[in-house]
Structure 1
């Protein structure tokens, strides 16, 4: 067989060229296949490139279509004929997966990080590798170091209390106040709620967190913003990834995933099993999931990708206990939860598609659709049976053509969502259906029309403006009581909501590594059925409206021993008709009311650095959530969330096979009632982790959590007035625990 130099010379003599650089699926020797873009590393902010990123990475961008491949120049000189007796040896060409491969439907991590530089507000990109070094049981594990995000597991389970800037302040179950997406495709139900069991952070490649109005380019008009889980595909995934986690309280989690990449097709499949006995009694969890996506690169300008998701989740609910019970026995369950065999069982299936057409380097048209089917069996203080069928679609147009010689990006979008829920309610007889107590059909419709423009008016200054129009309808048809004049207690209603959400923003670059940013925006949130029909009786609530001012900075400072990175944002939000949820005297029941005026003030801090073998990171959130001249409560702080939270991790890497890190988590105390007569205590818990990658195929970890075995409430419910008495509103956090994991990858 010829050596490469001999072969190259022979081909040159024949007037041919040897291609030595191969993308994942084809040899690009002047062929039509577009090469992988060479985007500079964005692990550090690069404000000076913000104008270029406007054109190179539009909203939802994948390939940098502005970077075109130049065909190889022909070999100069007159080719000489090869001797007839010359025979070339066999040439073996092999391809490999490209971890940085970006497709039209799924941008790579570097492109996502570059987009931060064009966003005038708080945005984070969390690479999955940053949290896969330890246990990944829920969103609290994945979003632990996302600035401004509060994620509190309710009892070590997947269902998590998730809040950004006080969104869903008193919502201690399910989720609201955020737009949740997979690869830019909405995952919320049509009424705005979402289920945590439909999300698997372990199967994501990275996570984008768009806080507040910074998510407008995705059509999010909520106070909290949006979270986008970006999946691996056949090009950037491993051919095989097998991961096993085991630990205390019967915890076990298994992930098997893999991908395939051909010339025009790629596929990715992940199967996930999660189970635990739980720290508390009556807290057994058992979840099975499948996620898959199949992509077809029709050509370099057109790509479509099909997504399939399935989850089967059974969860026992240990319920809330009193503070005295927490201190005496944090593993205890509420007695009513045991006698009623309270649980939440979900069967969920979702099919979606994302098609992107980029007719040229400056335009993109993105079309999404999804359809989901969910069944819920939920014995609590009553038995709730639900059948949900939801559909959503979205059309997004992005144009990055210069205007008067200035770089810009224009995003236009329309997102309609429709949902139908058939609900039956029964008496809870030992966790089984007793006599029927209610029946209804719930119809939800939400439409969002949005636009955002970003313009670089100076090399160091970018301005942005945008707006969204939200219209919604919530209709409930009472199928249990007709509501006749003799019995006028029908719960039927039909309400409509509409609101406009403007936004203005600016970014100013100081040098190439520091940015200052600010924005003013509004938010608008129609209630979900969890607010309208989730309690003992429907209470017709108004939409929550708000206006937010945000300023901040992000950047990198190079030090003699390493580098310092930061992301800091301060905000003030004035909310009108805030949706506040209050527990009733019936265990497990709640109602939602509108607070006339409330006020949010907060500081979100994310900072980290690397100095030789030492790396560290920290996040902190300082917030003040209060009533604003309320007739009853004046300017009192709102209950339900700690005003101060912080998390720190520092690690020392001895080698690639061994890294040792310590971590700590702190939360201040907070009231559990509006009268501020009873409080959850402040707490600090500590952990230790050791792990590494002994060689490229293997990864391992062992970690200890809450090593001091601290007794604390991970989250609480909220009541109107506890009158200074201990009340069952406390959900204990897990005690001392040890977890271990091992992962094998094969490219």
Structure 2
């Protein structure tokens, strides 16, 4: 089935995905899967943040905080929207190596878009087969080397002192396929106190040991230093949207990250119907963060992480019906050492430590998945996963254990897909999944956050359990248009939400019930005159389904207020709708590309009680890309203008911020231009 286009004026080309654990066409998958291809990632873009490519994907909201000291606020169908930092509720992979830890907390700062080939994004019931925190799956794939050898330096510059430069080397010679990319980013920041520097290195090496045995080695490193402008109150947002929040200067809020990881994938073809894949990996991450707080205002976190995934793929024919099976085991572990110190005017008080914790998370999962085609038009897919996740934490200050807890679950999904016509199908899928607490969510007991005293941890926190159903339709029209529609409903019991907040400390509780309903629509049309239109739309109704209570303590006054979070309140941190629309004109020889983009988002609430919110917005962006071939050189230039009409808006929120500093403003009109030159040997 042909389902994606490389450019205007062409027939749609087939896109094969592996998010369902075995390679198949997007059209033949009974799930919501979208692919952002290399052209969409690179052409006329900043290649800086995952919010750029993910804006094209329905169901996914990746809100850019304009703050490199905090990761993007990423959610999938409303899952992960209330994450305090990083990505939660979504499984993240880079070349099959997890960017999500065993406890479900994910990081994306190590993702290098400059060398990304494509990004697969899956939502819905199929995601539960990836285990803990699988409200969605994002898998980034690094480019393969091209035949011969190539070197490509690149540079871009734009508003707010933004500069990015680097060099990419790749090739495929004598049975060795390789890619190496090293890049550096600097920005003065749109807001005050938001300057950042980030260095990324990414390497990929592929070779064959035998005709049936291949090895892929991937390694990446990131070094980040960033000032943290914090959030703004509503009054600060109106007075000076580019300003830093209260406490940013006084406490010199900032963050530094160093992460290195290495992974190996071994593929062994056993026969025409069987193959094995084994993927071990390991790495370490060091983080130092200065918060706007004196006590516990400096956090030093060292994490060692490692794990593996091993799977067997089998193809068979049962009674004349094609059958594909995938069976595997997945094990991961992360070991954290967390030290906190007092922040004295932006300086770390070395001794004594305020807190000293050792924490661990580990999982051991087994999974089985099968796909059966009784007829050419009908397909069934089913899968089951047995998961065991253990979290533990010890306080080294008083030599006491905060406890440990093991979460066990059997999750699964089932789907049916029917081709009503040769190029149109309908499907229905159902899945039951779960999300354990993260280490960050079990570290503080509610009484310790609200009243102080002895911290006993929060091991009573249950895992959230979600049942979801999806109905979808996919159609390819005359090989020039693709339409995908999905309706979904999800109900979660014991959803993990804020229980109490006091300064830099938060504790969590289980909400009785939440629900998420929505619609996703995406279409891609190749039009006459070398035009192409791409549209994606999301409608999301994510709400509390049963009333619960929470407590917020103002750190300035130490006054506590209890709130009732009533049934029907919106889940914070995610817009109620989103739109991406694009019209591209591309010259047949690819020497010139012009495009106009439209982006819009609905309102977003900032706290559980829905007393703070940011309004919706609509933006228009323009971009132009130029290419020239001169001998062995290929030169490319681009320029883009974002927020053409200089609209003022809030790009993201800090959910449940205790000082009501919820708002993170986004830039007005801004520009970016860049140049790359590749030489092929």
TM-score of the pair, normalised by structure 2: 0.88
Measure the CA separation in 1 of the matches of 2:128 and 2:569. Answer: 31
1:224 matched to 2:135? The reply is yes
Q: Supply the distance in 2 between the matched residues of 1:654 and 1:502 (Cα, whole angstroms).
A: 47
Aligned residue among 85, 94, 102 for 1:173: 85
Equivalent residue, structure 2, for 1:152: 63
Residue 447 of structure 1 aligns to a residue whose secondary structure is strand
Query: How far apart, in 2, do the equivalents of 1:405 and 1:241 lie?
Result: 51
Distance 1:468 1:44, change over 3 A: farther
**Closer/same/farther in 2, CA of residues 582 and 671 from structure 1, 3 Å limit:** farther
Partner of 1:476: 393
Q: Which has the larger radius of gyration?
A: 1
State the match for 1:648 in structure 2: 581
Given the alignment of the two structures, is residue 638 of structure 1 paired with residue 571 of structure 2, yes or no?
A: yes
Inter-partner Cα distance in structure 2 for 1:320 and 1:53: 41
2:311 matched to 1:396?
Answer: yes
- Provide the residue aligned with 1:591 in structure 2: 507
Q: Which residue number corresponds to residue 662 of structure 1? A: 596
Please say if 1:738 is aligned against 2:671. Answer: yes
Q: 1:595 to 1:223 in 2, by over 3 A?
A: farther
Aligned position for 2:635: 698
Once residues 95 and 153 of structure 2 are traced to their aligned partners in structure 1, the CA distance between those partners, rounded to angstroms, is 23
Q: 1:709 aligns with which of 646, 658, 662?
A: 646
Q: Which residue of 2 aligns with 1:121?
A: 31
Cα RMSD, aligned residues only: 2.5
Alignment of 1:337-356 (within 5 A): 337-356=248-267
**Contact in 1 for aligned 2:573/2:604 (Cα 8 Å):** yes
2:361 counterpart residue number: 444
CA distance in 2, matches of 1:744, 1:216: 43
| Stretch of structure 1 that moved more, 675-684 or 382-391 | 675-684
Could you list the runs of 5+ residues in structure 1 that have no partner in the other structure?
1-39, 46-51, 62-111, 484-490
CA distance in 2: counterparts of 1:405 and 1:593, whole angstroms: 52
Size of the alignment, in residue pairs? 634
Matched, 1:624 2:541: yes
Matched, 1:270 2:270: no
- 1:15 matched residue in structure 2: none
Q: Find the aligned partners of 2:535 and 2:2 in 1 and give their Cα distance.
A: 22
Q: CA 1:193–1:242 in 2, change beyond 3 Å: closer, same or farther?
A: same
- Give runs of aligned pairs for residues 170-319 of structure 1, distance below 5 A: 170-215=82-127, 219-235=130-146, 239-319=150-230
Moved more, 351-360 or 591-600: 591-600
Q: Is the 8 A contact 1:470 1:498 kept in 2?
A: yes
Cα distance between partner residues in 1 of 2:426 and 2:536: 19
Cα distance in structure 2, aligned partners of 1:567 and 1:316: 41
Q: Does the CA-based 8 Å contact 1:213-1:223 persist in structure 2?
A: no
Residue of structure 2 equivalent to 1:503: 413
The reply to whether residue 615 of structure 1 matches residue 532 of structure 2 is: yes
Residue 481 of structure 2 corresponds to residue 544 of structure 1: no
Worse-matched range after superposition: 530-539 or 362-371: 530-539
Q: In 2, Cα distance between the equivalents of 1:670 and 1:260?
A: 46
Residue 201 to residue 515, structure 1, CA distance change in 2 (3 Å): farther
CA contact (8 A) 1:260 1:266 kept: yes
SS at match of 1:246: strand
The C-alpha deviation readout for 1:287-328, integer Å capped at 9, x for no partner, is 111111222211221111222111111111100001222222
Q: Is the contact made by 1:243 and 1:744 (CA closer than 8 Å) also made in structure 2?
A: yes
> What TM-score, normalized to structure 1?
0.81
**Cα pair 1:708 1:736 within 8 Å, conserved:** yes
Matched, 1:43 2:1: no
**Separation in 1 of the partners of 2:365 and 2:298?**
34
CA distance, structure 2, for counterparts of residue 294 and residue 423 of structure 1:
34
Contact 2:75/2:574 (<8 A) preserved: no
SS of match in other structure, 1:364: strand
Q: Distance in 2 between matches of 1:397 and 1:59?
A: 14
Q: Does the 8 Å contact 1:215/1:221 carry over to 2?
A: no
Deviation at 1:238, TM superposition (A): 6.3
**CA distance in structure 2 between the aligned counterparts of 1:273 and 1:58, rounded to whole angstroms:** 30
Q: Distance in 2 between matches of 1:343 and 1:746?
A: 39
Runs (4+) off by over 4 Å: 56-61, 235-238, 534-537
Q: Cα deviations across residues 460-511 of structure 1 (Å, max 9, x unaligned)?
A: 000011111111111001101245xxxxxxx612111111112110111132
Contact 2:20 2:126 in 1 (8 A): no
Partner of 2:611: 677
**C-alpha separation in 2, matches of 1:618 and 1:482:** 57
Contact 1:221/1:501, CA 8 A, preserved across alignment: no
Greater displacement, 365-374 / 627-636:
627-636
Q: Give the match for residue 161 of structure 1.
A: 73
Please state whether the residue corresponding to 2:204 is helix, strand or coil.
strand
Per the alignment, do residues 406 and 691 of structure 1 end up closer, same or farther by CA in structure 2, a change over 3 Å counting? same
Distance in 2 of aligned mates of 1:213 and 1:240 = 42
Q: 1 CA distance for matches of 2:583 and 2:67?
A: 24
Shift of 1:551: 0.8
* Alpha-carbon offset, residue 531 of structure 1: 1.6
Distance change >3 Å, CA 652–CA 172, structure 1 → 2:
farther
Is the contact made by 1:524 and 1:546 (CA closer than 8 Å) also made in structure 2?
yes
CA contact (8 A) 1:662 1:687 kept: yes
CA contact (8 A) 1:208 1:229 kept: yes
Tell me: CA distance 1:387–1:712, structure 2 relative to 1, closer, same or farther (3 Å). Answer: same
Deviation at 1:719, TM superposition (A): 2.8
Task: Report the alpha carbon displacement of residue 582 of structure 1 after superposing the two structures with TM.
Answer: 6.5
Q: Is the 8 A contact 1:169 1:580 kept in 2?
A: no
Matched, 1:727 2:660: yes
Return closer, same or farther for 1:582/1:124 CA change in 2, 3 Å cut-off.
farther
Partner of 1:487: none
Structure 1 pair 318/573, CA: closer, same or farther in 2 (3 Å)?
same
Match of 1:530 among 402, 418, 440: 440
Label 1:264 to 1:507 Cα distance change in 2 as closer, same or farther (>3 A): same
In structure 2, the residue matched to 1:577 is 494
User: Where does 1:374-389 land on structure 2 (aligned, <5 Å)?
Assistant: 374-380=285-291, 381=293, 382-389=297-304
Kindly indicate which of the two structures has a greater share of residues assigned to strand: 2
Counterparts of 1:208 and 1:575, CA distance in 2: 25
Deviation of 1:716 after TM superposition, in Å, equals 1.0
In structure 2, the CA distance between the partners of 1:526 and 1:448, relative to structure 1 (3 Å rule), is same
Aligned counterparts of 1:445 and 1:678: Cα–Cα separation in 2: 37
